[in-house]
Structure 1
Amino acid sequence: MSDPHYLREAEKYESPIPSREHILSFIQKRPKSKRQLFELLSIEDEQKKAFERRLRAMVRDKQLSCNKNGVYRPFSNRGLISGTVIANPKGFGFVSLDKGGKDLRLSSQQMKLVFHGDKVKVRLLNRKLDAEIVQVTQTVKTLVGRLNINQDECYVVVDDRRIKHEIDIVELIEGCADNQVVVVEVLNSPTLEKNASGRITSIIGNYLDEGVEVDSAIHRHEIPAIFGDKALEESAKLPNKVLTKDKKGRVDITHLELVTIDGEDSRDFDDAVYAIPSKNGWKLMVAIADVSHYVKEGSQLDAESLERGNSVYFPHRVVPMLPESISNGLCSLNPELERLCMVCEMEIDSLGSLLEYKFYSAVMLSHARLTYTEVNEMLENKKSKLRKKYKKIENNIDFLYGLYQTLRISRQKRGVMDFDRIESQILFDDQGKIENIVARKRNDAHRLIEECMLMANQAAAKYLQKENEDFLYRVHPKPTPEKVEITRQFLTAIDLRLDGGLEPESSDFAKLLKNASGREDENIIKTVVLRTMKQATYTPNNEGHFGLAFEDYAHFTSPIRRYPDLLVHRAIKRALSNKHRERSNKMVELGAHLSMTERRADDASRDVEQWLKCEYMRDKVGECFNGVISGVAGFGLFVELTEIFVEGLISVRDLKEDYFIYDDVHHQLKGQRGGRIYRLGDLIKVKVASVNLDDRKIEFVPVSK
């Protein structure tokens, strides 16, 4: 069939290609691939590039659509794909599909039409998984940003690095002023020609005021921070102490010298511990606050706790999962006060293996509120004055430490990875400003409590699995072979070895980390190994916990601050009373939601911490620091300062001594002419070049030695 528009095309092109109409006539009857069109339309080799450009233009102009297999068909609004926009700070983005599968890509031009988090319908453009926005089905309702008011215009710069839009403000509220941090209700989505529009609904505070950065993060990450009236009414009706009627049917363990061991600034104490030698090795009792007795399933208090999913911890502030009258009062295991609890009583042998366990409801009394620092001093110094102060619980501390040493044997035998990395702690002065950033030190008291909690969590999972109860496991899948191979290539370049082939066990990683112990780049190696791992999640399907080398694991020990633990407590009570609940799909949904709230909390905390670090560094521009290269990319080097644990970027443009090529296998930049190498883990001296609070970026330049 000849092209009826051949003469028109011949006037335009020296080597004319089939007209759009002619192409459409072939595709109307049956969809065709590019290769099929080449054959049907007798496309010569020298015409192929021009023909491909025409196909792309026809897709762009909505004459054709192209699926991910490269098959073309006449354009139709049918077959659109639904998903959620995920923006990248560099300007481009992705669409996470509702039906699952690989994310689709959105160009920076397409991202001008949407916000991060928008629900959209898109059309697939080609086999490279590029897509275009067809419809915004649900836009984000509110955004946080900095208000700019001048004579000509009023707009908000969004306080989210992933959102590049400015929002034109059409309505202010009383008290609005320039340079305030505000909440904006989005009225109209952006277009290619116009900014989005919105109105101010509330004022968070003045930029740089104390606490504004936390309030901004709460709004930005949509963290529920205010309890509703009904939930507060329910919590107000609860008693402020344990009532006699609530003790009925519970074991009285108030005589046992249970103690809480937490940080100095902790206010909610949800776990207490007690250990004593036994004929097999050790008896360990972990008593956990019985939140489920007071927070009833189906109540408004329960619904709001589920929505939060967990407490969110910021430097200097906490957004609790439960009202403080419960979290810091009625359910907190405060010293010398009777409290309701759920006990996990365990028999552990001399090699640290769990022999037996049982659960029961009890009434307890904490005989001391200890801090990690105090316990560590008691362990290190047998003549410490603290031993006299805590004479009545001294034996319990020593027994707990003996048990901990036993559990360490079990940990090593299982081959658990040691991720005892150096982490930063922000110290504040009386005015709420950062005084210093120091290393957060972990000691044997931290590890002691951690091991006790791990044993109780493992026992809870084993018990509920045996009872076939409906609950959520805490799972940590194996890393993918692809990530393992990338990590192995890096390790080989720094003379370290990871055994185990494409599917190494936890013990193989543990051996690697042991071999890295004491090296200058130890913290970097731990970071790289951590990046190899998948994220732990909540699910009703038992996939084991790779990082801890446990076949069965659940979260039981923190029901004051984690909702999955509350679900586990309820499941244990059902099992104990023989009122079992069949496994349900609802638990799948709960697992997905609670995994999301955990990530949301981590993102918000990290966001605030980075902002605070940038604020701290603002008056240090021009100063020099020692650092270690913590990341390498084609655009530059990430450097973490060794004295104050702040990370910044050296742009490749500031490495002026040579032209540098990125080597992703060896995690390094290598100079093309002089051969100078900047490698992950190398020590480097830098000068602070600039600090951008809005983008939360710190830029360094290298200092020659």
Structure 2
Amino acid sequence: MGRKGGKRLNKAMVADALQAFFQAHPNETFALKQIFKALRLDTHPAKMLAVDVLEEMTWDDYLIQPESNAYRLNLKTQVQEGTFVRKANGKNSFLPDDGGKPIFVSERNSMFAMGGDRVRVAMMARRQNHIREAMVTEILERKHDQAVGILQVEKDFAFLVTEGNIFNHDILIPKKKLKGGKTGQKAVVKITQWPSKDSKNLMGEVIDVLGNQGDNNVEMHAILAQYGLPYKYPKRVEEAANKLSAEITPEEIARREDFRDVLTFTIDPKDAKDFDDALSIRVAPASHTASEGARYYEVGVHIADVSHYVTEGSIIDREAEQRATSVYLVDRTIPMLPERLCNFICSLRPDEEKLAYSVIFIMDEEANIKDWHLAHTVIKSDRRFCYEEVQEILTAPEVAAKDSPTKEAPSGAVEGALRVLDHMAKALRERRFKGGAVKFDREELHFDVDESGKPIRCYFKKSNDATQLVEEFMLLANRTVAEFIGKAQKTPKSQNNQKSSPKAKTFVYRIHDQPDPQKLESLRAAVAPFGYKVKTSGTKGAISKNLNKLMDDVQGQREQKLVETLALRAMMKAKYSTHNIGHYGLAFDYYTHFTSPIRRYPDTMVHRLLTRYQEGGRSVNQEHYEELCEHSSQMEQTAANAERDSIKYKMVEFMADKVGEEFDAHISGIQSYGIYCEIDENHCEGLVGMHDLDGDYYDFDERNYCLVGRRHHQKYQLGDAVRIKVARANIEKRQLDFVLAD
């Protein structure tokens, strides 16, 4: 290799050859002589060039020198672990665990990894003018060991046709492993053999035949099974719940603070059955009287005491820990706890005595906290409200006419109590935004369905005074208990006393990181042409206040959808962790989830930790709780994906009889293959494929979120108003296809 094609070797050629050589032998150490021989470097200049490059590679940490004049690949930088992402077009990628950028993995270097698998990769030699590439060297953990699809039964064999791009082949099933499944039925299949060098086949066996395609129950179960979520509740866990006693003994009541005589109510969606939280209010006891005639109130945020019934390590607890969350599909709830617990024993139902874990606040009329404490309580809800009823009370004309709703005595009419709480909630909300909370009023798509699960109405739910009333008091309770644990007692250091302040005990926090700087930069560049400015650096508060101003400025403007979409994309996802970094979106230094233990496992963990620490217990093992936090965060994301898929399915079902009809819409997403449009009147989203756009070739301008025609310069941008016609409603793919009507 001293010369190549008659030309003297240059440095780049030697660097490429050395990189390829060390990549091919990642675990071996080579002396200089061995390297010269392997690369056929037989001239003195070529050897000197190689020594030069080897020194640079060592300096760059690409190589290490275990001994003088010997080199080895530095596995710390060259071998990484992370998640494999499979794409149907072969443009697979690897997402490193450290959150770095995705790295391309070609099909031939994928080792047949499936989407979501945890893999170990080696970085490939970086070629000039080529993107960075990785090669899968080991599959550490399979994400999916089961698949959902449609059975195809032939004369000699059967196979499962799967949707999406998790698998690059259909799954072969021996006929004796079909469990009675027939062609066209949906089934859940367990993988028994993965592709390898010897055989590219995927083999499996049917573990459950779900039923006929198109049946509502079958489709909902298929969505759950697709994400590995359970669609049945284990009998033995239900039996364990049925054995639990719902009786509240006099001894238990004596151990608790008694709130049974205090005005208490729940406020939930009209179709809710699991009432996690209740609010109580009364004029504060005489020991908390205010000066100058101002009134103090005692406000209780009462949360179902799930941990009293579900003991750690029990069969019910293990099932709840695994599920980590209830899953809310359009037409059903898949509960975290057995029905007897979530809808009966723990649920804070009206006119029933219930055990609760409560945060009790003493507050003035502007919701300034004068005192608070945490207590195990017994309560009795006087009334079960749905949001619509509360909203009606809060917006009734005779209420609006009152000078000061806070002067109403809450001990009388429930309406008066609601008005006092509403006034306090508005004060809390205003302070939160002043403190730098980000103002995102997200709309949620909802369906009304008939008995068979068929959607008959489609609408968006926006937050209002009633939902915000509940939200503010839940946020306050969550924040208060997080601060209680997180703010370790600080002891001033003196010259005589050099002891450090005590460390905060291990706790479960709900954390939210600052926006991604690159995405903020994209937002800044995208909104600049409209005359808006976005801060991409500065304090957390300055950035969030700037984002709030932007949200206010775009209200009612043509570009509103574009700006809101991009601002949301810049936000990080909130998650659970024992390592507190605060909650950026809420602008809280300490935040947790305490208020929904019936439907979220982290809240149950928080209840147990608070009880333990209140009783003087020692700090728990942080590593164990961090693992539980990671699992809960993952399951929350999985449940959200399943929920989104059920909405997509119902959306297509809802539009199935509207094929050929025209609607006003706006562009809600832009991809290289077409534009997504959302119908204005019902918010159903569909795709106008690139081939259905008028006679031109379109370039995808990723930076400016638009498609631009080469010949006629027609431009389609995120947020643009369009008129669409429904072309197809593909229930199997959960996809709506539109064409532009004009």
TM-score, structure 2 normalization? 0.81
Residues 176 and 583 (structure 1 numbering): CA distance in 2 closer, same or farther, change over 3 Å?
A: closer
Q: Which residue pairs with 1:142 in the alignment? A: 146
Q: Which residue pairs with 2:690 in the alignment? A: 652
Q: Residue deviations 1:561-582, cap 9 Å, x none?
A: 1111111111221232222325
d(CA) in 1 for partners of 2:116 and 2:538? 36
d(CA) in 2 for partners of 1:250 and 1:424? 41
d(CA) in 2 for partners of 1:578 and 1:371? 39
Query: Tell me, what secondary structure is at the counterpart of 2:622?
Result: coil
Q: Which residue pairs with 1:125 in the alignment? A: 124
Q: Which residue pairs with 2:316 in the alignment? A: 301
User: Which of 593, 598, 602 is matched with 1:555 structurally?
Assistant: 593
Query: Tell me, what secondary structure is at the counterpart of 2:474?
Result: helix
Q: Which residue pairs with 2:49 in the alignment? A: none
Q: Which residue pairs with 2:349 in the alignment? A: 334
d(CA) in 2 for partners of 1:364 and 1:428? 34
Query: Tell me, what secondary structure is at the counterpart of 2:215?
Result: coil
In 1, are the aligned partners of 2:523 and 2:566 still within 8 Å (CA)? yes
Residues 416 and 2 (structure 1 numbering): CA distance in 2 closer, same or farther, change over 3 Å?
A: closer
Identity of aligned residues (%): 31
- Superposition pairs of residues 207-222 of structure 1, within 5 angstroms: 207-222=213-228
- Superposition pairs of residues 73-84 of structure 1, within 5 angstroms: 83-84=82-83
User: Which of 22, 28, 31 is matched with 1:29 structurally?
Assistant: 31
Q: Which is further off, 601-610 or 225-234? A: 225-234
- Superposition pairs of residues 389-538 of structure 1, within 5 angstroms: 392-466=413-487, 468-499=504-535, 501=537, 504-538=542-576
Residues 436 and 40 (structure 1 numbering): CA distance in 2 closer, same or farther, change over 3 Å?
A: farther
- Superposition pairs of residues 105-504 of structure 1, within 5 angstroms: 105-110=104-109, 113-127=112-126, 128-136=131-139, 138-139=141-142, 140-151=144-155, 153-171=157-175, 172-190=177-195, 194-228=200-234, 231-276=237-282, 279=290, 282-349=297-364, 352-381=367-396, 392-466=413-487, 468-499=504-535, 501=537, 504=542
Query: Tell me, what secondary structure is at the counterpart of 1:266?
Result: coil
Query: Tell me, what secondary structure is at the counterpart of 1:369?
Result: strand
- Superposition pairs of residues 656-695 of structure 1, within 5 angstroms: 656-695=694-733
Query: Tell me, what secondary structure is at the counterpart of 2:480?
Result: helix
Q: Which residue pairs with 1:541 in the alignment? A: 579
Residues 282 and 32 (structure 1 numbering): CA distance in 2 closer, same or farther, change over 3 Å?
A: farther
Q: Residue deviations 1:106-132, cap 9 Å, x none?
A: 224555823223344544333344233
Instruction: State the 1:315 CA deviation.
Output: 0.8
Matched, 1:596 2:634: yes
Instruction: State the 1:689 CA deviation.
Output: 2.7
Query: Tell me, what secondary structure is at the counterpart of 1:489?
Result: helix
Query: Tell me, what secondary structure is at the counterpart of 2:522?
Result: helix
Residues 38 and 284 (structure 1 numbering): CA distance in 2 closer, same or farther, change over 3 Å?
A: farther
Q: Residue deviations 1:62-116, cap 9 Å, x none?
A: xxxxx99599999999997655433235443233456875554322455582322
Query: Tell me, what secondary structure is at the counterpart of 2:210?
Result: strand
Q: Residue deviations 1:356-382, cap 9 Å, x none?
A: 321111110000000000111111225
Q: Residue deviations 1:678-702, cap 9 Å, x none?
A: 1111100112233333433322221
Query: Tell me, what secondary structure is at the counterpart of 1:564?
Result: helix
In 2, are the aligned partners of 1:158 and 1:164 still within 8 Å (CA)? no
- Superposition pairs of residues 43-82 of structure 1, within 5 angstroms: 69=62
In 2, are the aligned partners of 1:68 and 1:129 still within 8 Å (CA)? no
Query: Tell me, what secondary structure is at the counterpart of 2:663?
Result: strand
Instruction: State the 1:618 CA deviation.
Output: 3.3
Q: Which is further off, 672-681 or 23-32? A: 23-32
Residues 410 and 350 (structure 1 numbering): CA distance in 2 closer, same or farther, change over 3 Å?
A: farther
In 2, are the aligned partners of 1:144 and 1:183 still within 8 Å (CA)? yes
Residues 430 and 234 (structure 1 numbering): CA distance in 2 closer, same or farther, change over 3 Å?
A: closer
Q: Which residue pairs with 2:9 in the alignment? A: none
Instruction: State the 1:670 CA deviation.
Output: 2.4
Instruction: State the 1:175 CA deviation.
Output: 2.9
Q: Residue deviations 1:284-340, cap 9 Å, x none?
A: 210111111111122222122111111111111111111111111111000000001
In 1, are the aligned partners of 2:454 and 2:653 still within 8 Å (CA)? no
d(CA) in 2 for partners of 1:511 and 1:141? 48
Q: Residue deviations 1:168-215, cap 9 Å, x none?
A: 111343431111110112122235864312122210111111121221
Q: Which is further off, 23-32 or 79-88? A: 23-32
Q: Structure 2 unaligned runs (5+)?
A: 7-12, 47-59, 65-69, 285-289, 400-407, 489-503
d(CA) in 1 for partners of 2:722 and 2:437? 32
Query: Tell me, what secondary structure is at the counterpart of 2:350?
Result: coil
Q: Which is further off, 632-641 or 225-234? A: 225-234
Q: Which is further off, 232-241 or 499-508? A: 499-508
Instruction: State the 1:236 CA deviation.
Output: 2.4
Query: Tell me, what secondary structure is at the counterpart of 1:259?
Result: strand
Matching residue's letter, 2:693? L
Q: Which residue pairs with 1:573 in the alignment? A: 611
d(CA) in 2 for partners of 1:690 and 1:355? 60
Query: Tell me, what secondary structure is at the counterpart of 1:336?
Result: coil
Q: Residue deviations 1:636-662, cap 9 Å, x none?
A: 222111122111222233222433333
d(CA) in 2 for partners of 1:37 and 1:512? 63
Q: Residue deviations 1:504-552, cap 9 Å, x none?
A: 5322211211222233543443222111100001111221111111111
Q: Which is further off, 581-590 or 300-309? A: 581-590
Matching residue's letter, 2:145? K
In 2, are the aligned partners of 1:84 and 1:118 still within 8 Å (CA)? yes
Q: Which is further off, 359-368 or 502-511? A: 502-511
d(CA) in 2 for partners of 1:486 and 1:41? 51
Aligned-CA RMSD value: 3.6
d(CA) in 2 for partners of 1:439 and 1:40? 75
Residues 150 and 691 (structure 1 numbering): CA distance in 2 closer, same or farther, change over 3 Å?
A: farther
Q: Which is further off, 68-77 or 591-600? A: 68-77
Aligned length: 664
In 2, are the aligned partners of 1:92 and 1:111 still within 8 Å (CA)? no
In 1, are the aligned partners of 2:326 and 2:335 still within 8 Å (CA)? yes
Q: Residue deviations 1:240-295, cap 9 Å, x none?
A: 24232322310111111110000010000010012456637654210111111111
TM-score, structure 1 normalization? 0.85
d(CA) in 1 for partners of 2:370 and 2:560? 36
Residues 118 and 501 (structure 1 numbering): CA distance in 2 closer, same or farther, change over 3 Å?
A: closer
Query: Tell me, what secondary structure is at the counterpart of 1:488?
Result: helix
Residues 583 and 328 (structure 1 numbering): CA distance in 2 closer, same or farther, change over 3 Å?
A: same
In 1, are the aligned partners of 2:675 and 2:689 still within 8 Å (CA)? yes
Q: Which residue pairs with 1:699 in the alignment? A: 737
In 2, are the aligned partners of 1:105 and 1:129 still within 8 Å (CA)? yes
In 1, are the aligned partners of 2:299 and 2:362 still within 8 Å (CA)? yes
d(CA) in 2 for partners of 1:272 and 1:636? 47
d(CA) in 2 for partners of 1:296 and 1:650? 53
d(CA) in 1 for partners of 2:645 and 2:665? 22
Matching residue's letter, 2:278? A
